[in-house]
Amino acid sequence: MTISAAFVLYSVSWFMVFFVVLQIRTTSQGDMGHVVPGTPAGAPAGFVMKRKAIITTIFATVIWAILCAIILSGVISVRDFDWMHRLPPVSTN
């Protein structure tokens, strides 16, 4: 795995975890009973972005390390996803 591939894998993992973490423990302004004029009642109230970014970074790093270990160990390779048998046979030189 190259450095750029590792960076892309981490970025994709981070954003996927971030979109999940954004939905956890979110309370809306309507739930709190105080809707700021000009905003919808479903807008978040007391949104803490820094804490969610830290939680995301921790979980994404763990997931990224697991994915890198699987890829680098060779447990899963590109040939495992060749369901239509389009890759040439493995040469035994």
pLDDT by 10s per residue, the chain, length 93:
899 999 999 999 999 999 999 988 888 888 888 888 898 888 888 778 899 999 999 999 999 999 999 999 988 888 888 889 888 888 776
Q: What is the pLDDT of residue 3?
A: 95
Please give the C-alpha separations between residue 43 and each of 27, 28, 47, 63, in angstroms, as whole numbers: 8, 5, 9, 30
Q: For position 31, what pLDDT does the model report?
A: 84
Indicate yes or no: pTM above 0.85: no
pLDDT at 54: 96
**Residue 16 has what pLDDT?**
97
